[in-house]
Amino acid sequence: MSFPSRLQSWLRATLQRSGLEREMDSELRFHLEAYAEDLMRSGLSRSEALRRARLEFGGFERAKEECREARGISFLETLLQDLRYAARTLRKNPGFASIAVLTLALGIGASTAVFSLVNAILLRPLPYPDPDRIVMPELVSPPGVNLGSEYFPWGQIQFRMLTRDSHPFQAVGAFQNDSFNLTGTGDPFFLDGFRVSAEFFGALGISPALGRTFTTEEDQPGHEYEAILSDRLWRQRFAADPGVLGRTVRLNGYAYTVVGVMPASFAFPRTEEMPSSFNFPREPQLWVPFAIPAQPKGGPSELAIVARLKSGLTLEQAQSAMDLVTKHAEAQDPNFKGWFNTRVIPLARQVTGDTRRPLTLLLGAVGIVLLIACSNVANLLLTRSLGRRREFTLRAALGAGATRLIRQLLTESLLISVTAGAAGILMATAAVYFVKVLGPLNTPRLREVSLDLPVFAFTMAISMVTGVLFGFAPAIGATRENLADSLKTGGPRSGGGPFNPRLRHALLVSQVALALVLAISAGLLTRTFFRMLGADGGFRAERVLTFQLSLPPIKYRDPSHIVTLFDNTLDRLRSIPGVQSAGIGETVPMGGDGESTVIRLSDHPAATPQEWPFANYTIISPGFFSAIGAPLLRGRDFLESDTADSLPVAIVNAAMEKKYWPGQSALGKQVGPGGPRYPLLTIVGVVPDVKHISLREDTAPEMYVLFNQKPWPSMLNMRVALRTRNDPSSVTESVRDALHSIDPDLPLAKVATLTTLLDDSLSQPRFAMLLLACFGVLALVLAAIGMYGVVSYSVMQRTQEIGVRMAIGAGRGDVARMVLGQGARLAGMGLAIGLAASFAVARLMTSFLYGVRPTDPLTFIAVASLLVAVLLLACYLPARRAMRVDPIVALRQE
Amino acid sequence: MDKQLDLLQGTLDMLILKAVSLGPLHGYGVLLRIQQISRDCLEIQQGSLYPALYRLEHHGWIASEWGESENKRKAKYYRLTAAGKRKLLSEAEKWNRMTEVISGILGTTPEEV
C-alpha cells in the first residue's frame, strides 16, 4: 500500500474520529435493516426479522472493534489511552510525580540556563567576519621580570618596527584609549575614545554604518582631525542625524570632521574584553586617527594591537613569523634584548579572558546538578516500579503484550520528562532573565544572552533518555517474570536483575558523593567571598564621592597650567559645605589598575634588566590619603609646604617597604623613576596597601609622588576623591558648579561613590558565589530526596520483617537503629568517595580561592556535617514509620 | 491467528474485490452478490464482512462514497479502484495457479509417480 493512502486513512481516522464512528454505525444499521426487510418479505414480523438479522450478523460490537482496527487508528488511540492511564497513575501518586517532575525540572532548568550563558559568552563566534583570523599580538615580559602582569603594552617605536618588518598579518591596527571633551553641543561632554591606526577597522573587518573609515593619509601627524562616532553617541548627541557626516565637532578644543558612524553592535574594545593591564574605558564612543609618526620618538605610550592573519596562516605560523620580527628587532637595537618577545593570542580567547574560568566552574557545577537529578529520577523510577511489580504481572496475565506494557511504562516516563521539560524551560527563562538583570555588568556579551533552544533540546533529551532507560527496566523484568511466582509471593521480595537494590544503592552513593563535592566547592567559594569582604582594601569607602577630571589638552599644554588648575580646584572643592577633605590622584581605589614602571633605588643598584625593581607610580595631591581614608602608617603625609622648589618627596606603600627594605624602615630612603635623568625622591611616609581593582588582589609595590613636584602628561586625566560629612551624592551639584566656575569646558565624568565602586568590584565574585551556593543547596536537597526514597522504600519492603522482629522482642529503638544504620552505611560510603573527590576538585579550584586553603578543614567539616544531618533527617522520616509498625497488622498482611 | 484463518481471510478479500468489480455495491449488496454468483454455496459470516471492507479500503483497493439504495435509503457504496483492479488480477492469477497445482496433486494416480 502506498504511503499517502495509508497516511490519508490514518489522518482521516484521527481527525474525524467521531464522524467515522457515526458512519460506521449507520452503515451497519443499514445492513441490518436491509436484511430484515428481505426477511420480512418472506413473511416474518418486523421485530422478529430484526432479531434474526442481528443474530445472523454475529457480534455487533466485535465487528465494530475489528473495523476500527482495520481502519488503522490503533496507534493514536493506544497512545491516548496510555497517556490517560499514565496521567491517572501519576495523579494517584502525587508525591512521586511531583518529586520526579520537580527534580528533573530543576536539573533541566539550571543546565539550560547555564549552558545558554556559556554558549553566548564562550562559544558563539565574535561578531566580526572570519573571527578566527583576528588576533592580538602581545608583548611578553622577559623571563624573571615581574611587571605585575604577564604582558606589557606596545610602544610606538615597537609598533613601527613591526609594521616595517614582514609580518604575518593582512592588516594590523594599533589603538590606545584617550579621553575627549566634546564642546559646542550643550554641556561639555566627557567621551571615552580611542586613537586608532588606519588598519584598525580593516583588521576587525568592520565597516561603518554611515560614511567611511580613516585613510592612510589621515593617519599621519597633522592630518588626524577626523572622527568616527559610536552609534550611541550619534543618537545621544546628534539626534541620529545622517547629515552629521562632514560636520565639524570640537574635541579637546580642536576641530574634527565627522567621517563615519559605526553600527550599534560595534564597541571595540570594551574594557572587560581587554587584558587587565590596560586601563581601558568601559565602552568607546569615538575613534580618531592615531597618527603615529614614521619615526616615533621614545616616551610613554601604551598601545594595544589587533591584527588579522593573512588568509591560510595558522596561529603557529603567525607566532614563528613574529619570533622572526623579534630577532630582527633585537639585531637592530640591543636594548630590545628580552623586551620584544611576543605572543599571538586569538581575539576570541582574549575577549572571554578571565570570564572563561568562572563559567567553566559553573558548567562543572551544573553538570553535577544534572547528573544528580537524573540519577535521582532513575532511582525514583526504579523504586516505584518495584512497588508496581504485581500490577504489571497481573496485566501481563490478563493478556497485555510485552510491547504494550513497555509502551505504557515509556509513556509514563515520557510524561514525566515532558512535564519536567515544560517546567524547566520556564525556570530557565526566569533564570536567564535574572542573570541578565542581576549579573555582573562587566561580563562580556551578557546582553546577548538568550535562552538557547538547541541547548534546551539537548538537556531535555538527556532527561528523556534517563526516564526511558530506567522506566524501561521494570517492564523488561515484568515481561520475563514468572507470572505465577510473582503473584504468589505477592510482591518484590525475591528477585535480582533490575530489582537488585545494588543498582539503586550505587546510584544513591554517587548522588551523595557528587552533592558533597558540589557543596564543598560552594562552601569554599562562600568562605572566599566573606574573606574578601573582610579583607583590608587600605581605604574607607563610606561617604566618599569620586569623579574624573579630564583637561582639554589644547588649553593645558603647559604643566604649570595643570598645577595651577589642580590647586584652584582643590581650594574650591574644599570650600564646598559638607566636604571634609579633597584629593586628586591618578587612580582611586577600585577605580582601575595602577601603572607599573621600572624604578631606581639608590641602595639597590641593579646589574641586569632581570633585577630591575619596579613599582606602581602614582601621582597624587596632598589630601588624597585622608580623602580615601588611608591612614598613614609611619612618617608624614604630603603637605602644602611640599612644592616644586622644596625637597622632592615620595610616599610608599607597605608592600614596597617590605619588598625592597625587608625588616627596615623605608623612611629616608631614596627612590626614583627608572633612568638616571630623573631625580631621586626621598621617602617621607608609608601608607597601607591600597587595592586597585579587587579586594582579593595581591598588592604590588606602589610609590606616590606629588603632582606639583613632577608634572606629567598623564595628569590630563585624574580622579578626584571627596570625603563628605553626610551623603556624598548630595554635593554633586556643588561640585559641578565649582568646576564650571573654574573652567566652563571641564566635564564632570564618571561620578561614583567609593561604595559603588567597591560594590561593582564585588559583583562578579558575589554572583559566582551565589550561583554556586544555589547549586550546592540544590545538590544537598536532591541527595536528601534520593536518600529518603531509598530508605523509605526499603522500610516498606521490610514491613513484615520488622513486624516479626518486634513480635519476638525487638524494641522501637532497635528498629530505628536498623533503618538508620542502613542509611548511615550508604551515606558513609558516599561521604568517603565525595571527600576524596572534593580534595581533588578543590585543588583545581585554587585560583578561585582567596584567604582559604583548598583543604580548609572548617569548610570540609562543616559541609560534610551539614550533609550528614540532612541525610539523617531524610532517614528519620522512614525510620519513624518503621517504629510505628504494628506487629499484628504487619504479620496479618501475609 | 492461525493459517487457516489467514487463507479464509484472503479468500474473502478476493471475493469482495470480484463482487465490486462488477459494479458499485453497498455492504449488504456485496453479501447478496457473492451468494447469488455462488448460487448460495458459500456462506459468509456477516460480522466479518465489514472489517474486510474497511481493511480493503484502508489499503486503497476499494473506495467508498455515500449514495442512495434501491429503496431510497442512504447507503455506503464501494467501488473498485485502479489499485484494486491490479490486486484482483494478481490474486486471481495466484488463486488459479494454486488450484491448478493442488488439483494436479490431488488428481495424481500411483502410475504417474
DSSP structure string for A823-848: HHHHHHHHHHHHHHHHHHHHHHTGGG
pLDDT score, position A4: 61
Q: How confident is the model at residue A498 (pLDDT cuts 50, 70, 90)?
A: very low
3-class state of residue A807 by DSSP: helix
pLDDT digits (tens, 9 = 90+) for A671-722: 988 777 788 899 999 999 999 988 888 888 999 999 988 777 778 889 999 9
Give yes or no for residue A445 having a pLDDT over 70: no
Please name the residues in contact with B99: beta carbons below 8 A apart, sequence gap of 6 or more.
none
CA distance B37 to chain A (A): 18
Q: What is the 3-state secondary structure (H, E, C) of A163-203?
A: HHCCCCEEEEEEEEEEEEEEECCCCCEEEEEEEECCCHHHH
Phi/psi for A83 (5° steps) reads -65, -45
Structural contact between residues A595 and A700, judged by C-beta atoms closer than 8 angstroms: no
Among A95, A25, A22, A101, CA closest to A63 = A25
Residues in chain A with CB shorter than 8 Å from the CB of B52 are 70
Give yes or no for residue A146 having a pLDDT over 70: no
Cβ contact (<8 Å) for A66 and B48?
yes
CB of B39 within 8 Å of any CB in chain A?
Answer: no
Residues A11, A588: Cα–Cα separation, whole Å: 73
pLDDT: which is higher, A675 or A111? A111
3-class state of residue A124 by DSSP: coil
CA angle A571, A576, A582 (to 5 degrees): 55
Residues in chain A with CB shorter than 8 Å from the CB of B5 are none
Mean pLDDT, chain A, as a whole number? 83
pLDDT score, position A16: 58
Residues A701, A657: Cα–Cα separation, whole Å: 8
Give yes or no for residue A804 having a pLDDT over 60: yes
Hey, how many other C-beta atoms are within 10 angstroms of the C-beta on A353?
15
CA distance B61 to chain A (A): 9
pLDDT: which is higher, A182 or A146? A182
Strands A169-183 and A544-550: unpaired
3-class state of residue A275 by DSSP: coil
Least confident of A321-330, A402-411, A706-715, B58-67: A402-411
Strands A596-601 and A614-620: antiparallel
Residues in chain B with CB shorter than 8 Å from the CB of A55 are none
* A602 burial type by CB count under 10 A (0-12 exposed, 13-18 middle, 19+ buried): exposed
Structural contact between residues B69 and B24, judged by C-beta atoms closer than 8 angstroms: no
CA distance A378 to chain B (A): 39
Nearest CA in chain A to B51: A67
Q: For A414-484, list the strands marked E by DSSP.
A: none
Please provide the CATH number assigned to the domain covering B3-112.
1.10.10.10
Mean pLDDT calculated for residue range A265-287: 76
Chain centre to alpha carbon of residue A534: 24
pLDDT digits (tens, 9 = 90+) for A640-660: 899 888 999 999 999 999 999
Structural contact between residues B47 and B25, judged by C-beta atoms closer than 8 angstroms: no
Mean pLDDT calculated for residue range A787-800: 82
Mean pLDDT calculated for residue range A778-807: 85
Among B11, B21, B99, CA closest to B49 = B11
pLDDT score, position B6: 39
CB of B95 within 8 Å of any CB in chain A?
Answer: no
Residues in chain A with CB shorter than 8 Å from the CB of B28 are 30-31, 34-35
- Bridge partner residues of A251 (DSSP): A182, A254
Cβ contact (<8 Å) for A1 and B60?
yes
Hey, how many other C-beta atoms are within 10 angstroms of the C-beta on A260?
21
pLDDT score, position A448: 66
User: From the list B58, B60, B73, which residue is nearest A70 (CB)?
Assistant: B58
Nearest CA in chain B to A23: B76
Nearest CA in chain B to A73: B58
Residues A696, A546: Cα–Cα separation, whole Å: 22
Chain centre to alpha carbon of residue A292: 39
Cell, residue A696: 582579593
- Domain boundaries of chain A, sorted by first residue: 3-72, 74-127+356-494, 143-340, 500-536+759-894, 552-745
Mean pLDDT calculated for residue range B37-66: 84
User: From the list B28, B69, B76, which residue is nearest A35 (CB)?
Assistant: B28
Which helix (H) or strand (E) segment holds residue A475: the answer is helix A453-480
Among B57, B83, B78, B59, CA closest to B67 = B78
pLDDT: which is higher, A390 or A770? A770
Phi/psi for A391 (5° steps) reads -55, -45
pLDDT: which is higher, A449 or A680? A680
Residues A58, B43: Cα–Cα separation, whole Å: 13
pLDDT score, position A662: 92
3-class state of residue A410 by DSSP: helix
Residues B73, B75: Cα–Cα separation, whole Å: 6
Give yes or no for residue A491 having a pLDDT over 50: no
Cis peptide upstream of residue A127 (ω within 30 degrees of 0): no
Number of CB pairs < 8 Å for A and B?
77
Phi/psi for A57 (5° steps) reads -65, -35
pLDDT digits (tens, 9 = 90+) for A563-578: 999 999 999 999 999 9
Mean pLDDT calculated for residue range A339-364: 76
Residues A70, B55: Cα–Cα separation, whole Å: 5
pLDDT: which is higher, A667 or A885? A667
C-alpha torsion A519→A523→A526→A530, nearest 10: 160
Please name the residues in contact with A89: beta carbons below 8 A apart, sequence gap of 6 or more.
A412
Structural contact between residues A706 and A642, judged by C-beta atoms closer than 8 angstroms: yes
CB of B87 within 8 Å of any CB in chain A?
Answer: no
pLDDT digits (tens, 9 = 90+) for A375-401: 888 888 777 777 677 777 777 777 666
Cell, residue A363: 558548567
pLDDT score, position A29: 87
Residue labelled with grid coordinates 540519577: A375
Structural contact between residues A167 and A140, judged by C-beta atoms closer than 8 angstroms: no
Among B97, B78, B100, B103, CA closest to B13 = B78
Express as a percent the part of chain B with pLDDT over 90. 26
* A759 burial type by CB count under 10 A (0-12 exposed, 13-18 middle, 19+ buried): middle
Give yes or no for residue A162 having a pLDDT over 60: yes
CB of B74 within 8 Å of any CB in chain A?
Answer: yes
Q: How confident is the model at residue A340 (pLDDT cuts 50, 70, 90)?
A: confident
Task: Kindly indicate whether the ipTM for this predicted assembly is greater than 0.90, answering yes or no.
Answer: no
3-class state of residue B3 by DSSP: helix
Give yes or no for residue A1 having a pLDDT over 50: no
Structural contact between residues A125 and A274, judged by C-beta atoms closer than 8 angstroms: no
- Bridge partner residues of A599 (DSSP): A673
Phi/psi for A343 (5° steps) reads -135, 125
DSSP percent split of chain B into helix, strand, coil, nearest 5: 65, 15, 20
Give yes or no for residue A194 having a pLDDT over 60: yes
Please name the residues in contact with A487: beta carbons below 8 A apart, sequence gap of 6 or more.
A390, A393, A394, A397
Phi/psi for B66 (5° steps) reads -80, 135
Cell, residue A186: 550643550
pLDDT digits (tens, 9 = 90+) for A509-531: 999 999 999 999 999 999 999 99
Q: How confident is the model at residue A347 (pLDDT cuts 50, 70, 90)?
A: confident
Please name the residues in contact with A653: beta carbons below 8 A apart, sequence gap of 6 or more.
A538, A686, A687, A688, A689, A690, A699, A701, A702, A703, A704
Mean pLDDT calculated for residue range B61-74: 86
- Bridge partner residues of B78 (DSSP): B25, B64
pLDDT score, position A834: 95
Please name the residues in contact with A592: beta carbons below 8 A apart, sequence gap of 6 or more.
A279, A692, A693
pLDDT digits (tens, 9 = 90+) for A727-759: 888 898 899 899 889 988 888 888 889 998 898
Give yes or no for residue A497 having a pLDDT over 70: no
Give, in order, the Cα–Cα distances in Å from A22 to each of A16, A27, B55. Answer: 10, 9, 18
Mean pLDDT calculated for residue range A257-262: 93
Give yes or no for residue A548 having a pLDDT over 60: yes
Structural contact between residues A767 and A437, judged by C-beta atoms closer than 8 angstroms: no
Please name the residues in contact with A507: beta carbons below 8 A apart, sequence gap of 6 or more.
A375, A376, A378, A379, A382, A786
Give, in order, the Cα–Cα distances in Å from A563 to each of A644, A650, A752. Answer: 10, 18, 24
Structural contact between residues A690 and A703, judged by C-beta atoms closer than 8 angstroms: no
Residues B90, A847: Cα–Cα separation, whole Å: 80
Structural contact between residues A785 and A836, judged by C-beta atoms closer than 8 angstroms: no
Q: If you write DSSP's letter for every residue of A43-105 in order, what string do you get?
A: T--HHHHHHHHHHHH--HHHHHHHHHHHHT-HHHHHHHHHHHHHHHHHHHSHHHHHHHHHHHH
Say what the pTM is: 0.67
pLDDT digits (tens, 9 = 90+) for B77-105: 999 999 999 999 998 998 899 889 988 89
Chain centre to alpha carbon of residue A536: 27
DSSP state of A122: I
Cβ contact (<8 Å) for A9 and B58?
yes
